[in-house]
Amino acid sequence: MSSEFVPLNDPPPPDKAGAPEEGPPPVARAVPPRVPPRRGVPGPVWVLLGCLLLGGCALFGMVAAIGGSGLGMARAGALIEETVQGKGDAKVVLVELEGMIARVQGGGLFGGGVDLVDRLRRELEAAADDKDVKALVLSIDSPGGTVTASDQIWKHVKRFREKTGRPVVIHMGALCASGGYYIAVAGDEIVCEPTTITGSIGVVLSTLNFHDLLEKYGIRDVTITSGPNKDLLNPTGPLREEHLRILKQMVDETHARFTRLVHEGRGRTGLTLEEVQALADGRIFTADQALAQKLVDHIGYRQDALDRAASLAGVAGADVRLVRYARPPTLADLLSASARLPGAAGGGEPRLDPALLDDLATPRLMVLWRGGR
């Protein structure tokens, strides 16, 4: 038996005869790591930065324009008079009340909310101080709101009448119910539109109680109070007859005040207190029903309310100018987009906001129509 000697440094023999010889084995070489190419800022980022830059320039330009026009330098609390229609010297002021009646309306991420009661007070005082103002039209489009805010506005309207002796005509929009009607009875006369919903003379105090639901899942309320009535309307505690009696008395007393104010405002039409009490069960009325029940004086539109105010002021037929007031916008207003800029169309303030929802989350006496609730 023979064997063939193959040197270690020689390549192995070919597998088949005539096969080409293989070259030397490959030599491993170090390959440098690949460096990814440098990239610039993506296009969308530049677009976003450009938009932010342009928006900032526009905002500062608006602020500068307001300051240059004199609005930015207006004293705190100053109001700007706008002409709605007409060119005469005699003025009728239009004051607008829209949305929920509560202390704060509007607002946003940067603030800018408006105290509704304070806004109306300032507008009424501005009208009272202007000798050219002969009458006032208060336009209401509201389902109502808190008792306190409604009562405060009622007081300011009544004070304007007593201080100036000038007529106040109420114009009712699509809805003037509960707290809206509470305020309306402070006027000399009421003009409602043919499709107005009004009435809802009543008071409501509501909350939710989760005691039975929590008890079902073994969750107990632990509340330590200084007295047995301190936790009135505790949503996690059991309902108690004594608590309900106390709260019902509060509602009844507030309701009695509401009906007295309606009789005080509408008694001149021959409406008796007993008749008001019969109507004050929370029901709503159409325009024709309200007129038949002496809750309003006329059915018409805003122009009819303006004409009636001018007639009561003794300037009927004259060239009467209808004006309204606007407040200078602040930087917070511009950032939150909650201000009605002078000359802008529309009523002005937003109708609902987080601050108002927070207020309504706390149980409180309301003069509010909530569509069946």
CA 129 to chain centre: 29
State phi, psi for 79 to the nearest 5 degrees.
Answer: -115, 150
Q: Which residues are catalytic?
A: 178, 230
List the beta strands (DSSP E) in the chain.
80-85, 91-98, 104-105, 114-115, 133-142, 144-146, 168-177, 189-192, 197-199, 284-285, 298-299, 321-326, 366-368
pLDDT at 369: 75
pLDDT at 95: 97
pLDDT at 365: 75
Higher per-residue pLDDT: 57 or 183: 183
Using alpha carbons, select from 199, 184, 189 the residue that is nearest to residue 299: 189
- What predicted TM-score, i.e. pTM, was given to this entire model? 0.73
Percent of the chain with pLDDT over 90: 57
Is 254 a residue whose pLDDT tops 60? yes
Can you tell me the mean pLDDT for 346-371? Answer: 57
Query: Tens digit of pLDDT for each residue in 87-103?
Result: 889 999 999 999 999 98
Are the beta carbons of 193 and 288 closer than 8 angstroms?
no
79-368 belongs to CATH 3.40.50.300: no
